[in-house]
Chains A and B, each alone.
Chain A
């Protein structure tokens, strides 16, 4: 079978997200054939979507973001690989370190497939938009940010839902599936947010130059920036909205943990 012929059925399996098929995939020994579709889906999907994100600022910014988005995912997996593997075993997922890494790769690959499939729409939207500096550009930029936040949230929810079903199928327990997912998700979000801060810019602020990384990529951290923003928000409505966003992020995790932590 030609390599591309082997990759396409795997990508289809991934998109369908059938837990028993994904679990069987996890049980396979690691070969180039089993890992390549996942890596390809992440690189191709995130690069295409990243290009669309940066394109509005400048085509070169699009190329930069196309490189950085897959890198962000691989760096997050690299930093969290060890702790995710430990937590997976500790919480009874039944997965080894390799299987944990593969499961996370699968989840990110599903994310890549979704955002990649939407990238033509994003690129078309950018082509049909007012350029930076033109009339209506700032309103459009806000809309663009909102639209992409929704896309990323949607892709993230779907990818994690598939991952949850996979862990539940693998461990044979609903509660273990939830606990493991939440622990991985919390770690990946925590580190991913910081790494995205280090790898900024992604959307590309029109008032700042086109750059691969900012001049001071390792100066400051995401959480301090959020804290500064929260404490300096003079407008009370803005402040309330920011705090509500933060609560909306943390509360579901705490509730799910509480629900599934009972013996």
Chain B
């Protein structure tokens, strides 16, 4: 009996009324759209779930909206999806030890280039003097 009760309790979110395609509150809708743009459609090429017309994207959109309706924060929703699908679902790669180089490389190149440029200009100026 307890088990059945527990089962029913766990089923509640699934039994909740289906979430509408759009939230009536514009602020919530904007938030949902922004979040959807941060999530990659795993079965498409280069599209977010916000843009894609695939069934997968529709499912994840539904999931996101369900969780927003349940009061979850953006972070919680992202964590939930990462736990389910891995980091690949995030359009913005997480900042962690194995992605430091990814995030820093452009600026390292910029700094190195700036250093080389500075030396070059100094040398060129000395040559003219």
Q: Do A and B come from one complex?
A: no
The residues of A with any CB-CB pair to B shorter than 8 Å are none
